[in-house]
Amino acid sequence: MSKEYKCFSMELAGRTLTVDINRVAKQANGAAFIHYGDTTLLCTATASEKPREGIDFFPLSVEYEEKLYAVGKIPGGFNKREGKASEHAILTSRVIDRPMRPLFPKDYRNDVTLNNMVMSVDPECNPEVVAMLGSSIATCVSDIPFDGPCAATQIGMINGEFIVNPTLAQKTISDLQLTVASTRDKVIMIEAGANEVPEAKMIDAIFKAHEVNQEIIAFIDTIVAECGKEKHAYESCAVPEELFTAIKEIVPPAEMEEAVFSDDKQTREENIRVITEKLEEAFAENEEWLAVLSEAVYQYQKKTVRKMILKDHKRPDGRAITQIRPLAAETDLVPRVHGSAMFTRGQTQICTITTLAPLSEAQRLDGLDEFETSKRYMHHYNFPSYSVGETKPSRGPGRREIGHGALAERALVPVLPAPEEFPYAIRTVSETFESNGSTSQASICASTMSLMSAGVPIKKPVAGISCGLVTGETDDDYIVLTDIQGLEDFFGDMDFKVAGTHDGITAIQMDIKIHGLTRPIIEEAIAKTKEAREYILTEVMEKCIAKPREEVSKYAPKIVQIQIDPDKIGDVVGQRGKTINAIIDETGVKIDIDETGAVSVCGTEKEMMDKALNYIKIITTDFKEGQIFTGKVVSIKDFGAFVEFAPGKEGMVHISKIAKERINRVEDVLTLGDEVKVICLGKDKMGRISFSIKDVPEEA
């Protein structure tokens, strides 16, 4: 193939997409220097020459590098280099990985890295879409074996109308944020966050994106036709067929079927352990077979389970195809926290704890998105090794945990109250106690109940459920399973997660291991998840806790919000923060003020909160004659006394206004620290507030 630099362009959603091949990074197996509007990325695909030894999976790494120079920023902190990948970058890497991984050969063990470096960001053109397209193009033109191309499109919805590849500004008002990846014929990945979008509308949006993807795939085909390299040969790591034959002679299919047919995960794993030991003993003299025996046993289990489900309609735990595992829910199992709930589905068990805090505790974001600089709702998901009966040290959340947390967060954001209605930052933490399939969806159910337990006035409860898929030789030979457990996820073809309320979808995440789904499969999966979601909401969650608590926990901070004139913010803050800090020191509350004049006072003692609010109201009031205040004598002069009626706010009482009778010395009547009532007389010639003690009405 010629190394001549070539440029290709197409119009995509009203903007120009340009791809340069052989312009930069020529030593990579494949590279695309790609522009969408002014958004610019370098996307590369590289592979090792030889397979990695001792592994039974395809070692694919996807990186999405956010360079802050792309939006004219210098990284904050002492180290002025970009640090570890942000959560947003990790989530974007996952969205690229999920549709591309199934398109590489299943027996390919060479290391492959897809790197996407964001070099410039145009707010009109989302870099995530560009990265997905660039990864596909770079891999397609490379010599790396890949059954592409695939393409991705984002769909927004404003006033019921679909928007293809919405701008950042459009995303802020969109009721839908949908990303769909497709191959030539089928949908291969779906990721969505939605404001209770009806199922039928969601399906239309998915296939609107699929139509656009076909135009992009045709464009990629023209690039590959001119610039694509011949795919290299590779060393296959497939299990020898003669090994499968030998295994079946020792462990007949009926024995394997009996081993995996159990509703208890530990029992099933023990059965497989016994079978594996029997096979290891039988093949002790054959080192070549022993090296791939674990993969062979895995494949044997997979074929057995798939045959049982697809042909016999038998699930490993004996459930019907649409049957959900036993469900249980409870709230308030953890004392003193602001809210807690536990949701159990079979051997999957999640406990979610809710914590409330002032809005100032919202998470600050430092990334490429200029419209989202903070988020007030944070959902964190943890998956410890004990939840699956394993032992390993905790090294913090991995990409899977971050992805599951983001999915639950996206599912719940549409039902949260506005900050004006509920001025709290909210954090939910989902702790996985036990796992056997679809913990992310269980965490959505537990989090909904935990939020209601904490007194968060969510608009509607949200539930989540997952469907699986087993396919045969043809497109119409398949079966969709409701509520898949771990084994059905491992050996099946799909994990289709859908969360929502009674009225619509709030989140979707679809992962598959095959080359795509047809429209009938997607429609059936969405219909089955809706039916299951309704059952979980009505029969389990709403019977456990029907609506949010009327008040937040006694252990949660109390927040009262008032509105002041924005021009008065400086008066409340005071010079170098003197006034606001004085209020905080005296009352022990926390005070947040935004640029609109919304003031939040947070505390645990009502008396102190009321005191702080009163001070703020006094400070922001235009002083008029006749107003009465209670203050403290803070300074005594020959001509009168100064009274502090709010932190940092003083007025003067002239000596003639202290007592009804004439006095010669202020000290004869007042001493420092005296609490006195004063009435406002207006302002003197120097602009100071004038008070009188003697003119305060007796009834005041």
pLDDT by residue (tens digit) across 63-122?
999 999 999 988 877 888 888 899 999 999 999 999 999 999 999 999 999 999 999 999
| Phi, psi of 316, rounded to the nearest 5 degrees | -55, -30
Per-residue confidence band for 184, with pLDDT thresholds at 50, 70 and 90: very high
| Residue type for position 293 | L
Query: What is the DSSP secondary structure assignment for residue 109, as one 8-state letter?
Result: -
| CA distance linking residue 189 with residue 202, whole number of Å | 14
**Angle, helices 265-282/293-312, rounded to nearest 10 degrees:** 130
More confident residue, 586 or 157: 157
More confident residue, 27 or 360: 27
Per-residue confidence band for 686, with pLDDT thresholds at 50, 70 and 90: confident
Q: Hey, what are 276's tokens?
A: 């594996």
274 pLDDT higher than 50: yes
Structure confidence at residue 486 (pLDDT): 87
491 pLDDT higher than 60: yes
Contact (Cβ atoms closer than 8 angstroms) between residue 112 and residue 61: yes
Structure confidence at residue 700 (pLDDT): 63
619 pLDDT higher than 90: no
| Phi, psi of 466, rounded to the nearest 5 degrees | -125, 140
Structure confidence at residue 544 (pLDDT): 97
Structure confidence at residue 36 (pLDDT): 97
1 pLDDT higher than 50: no
Helices of type H across 178-198: none
Mean pLDDT, range 480-490, rounded to an integer: 91
Instruction: Determine the distance from the C-alpha atom of residue 368 to the mean position of all C-alpha atoms in its chain, rounded to a whole number.
Output: 17
Q: Hey, what are 272's tokens?
A: 């497989």
Query: How many beta carbons lie within 10 A of that of residue 575, not counting itself?
Result: 8
- Taking the CA atoms of residue 214, residue 216, residue 217 and residue 220 in that order, the dihedral angle to the nearest 10 degrees is 170
| CA distance linking residue 329 with residue 214, whole number of Å | 45
- Taking the CA atoms of residue 229, residue 511, residue 367 and residue 9 in that order, the dihedral angle to the nearest 10 degrees is 40
Per-residue confidence band for 517, with pLDDT thresholds at 50, 70 and 90: very high
pLDDT per position as a tens digit, 345-393: 999 999 999 999 998 888 987 767 666 678 999 999 999 999 988 998 8
590 pLDDT higher than 60: yes
Q: Look at 8-12, 148-152, 665-669 and tell me which has the smallest mean pLDDT.
A: 665-669
Parallel, antiparallel or unpaired: strands 377-382 and 424-434: parallel
What mean pLDDT, rounded, does the chain reach? 92
Mean pLDDT, range 262-274, rounded to an integer: 87
Structure confidence at residue 369 (pLDDT): 67
Mean pLDDT, range 206-228, rounded to an integer: 97
Number of alpha carbons in the 13 Å side-chain half-sphere of residue 545: 30
Beta bridge partners of 39: 36
Percent of the chain with pLDDT over 90: 67
Structure confidence at residue 371 (pLDDT): 62
Helices of type H across 455-568: 486-491, 519-536, 542-544
| CA distance linking residue 445 with residue 329, whole number of Å | 9
Query: How many beta carbons lie within 10 A of that of residue 670, not counting itself?
Result: 21
- Taking the CA atoms of residue 519, residue 523, residue 524 and residue 526 in that order, the dihedral angle to the nearest 10 degrees is 140
| CA distance linking residue 491 with residue 239, whole number of Å | 17
Structure confidence at residue 370 (pLDDT): 60
Mean pLDDT, range 607-636, rounded to an integer: 87
Structure confidence at residue 431 (pLDDT): 97
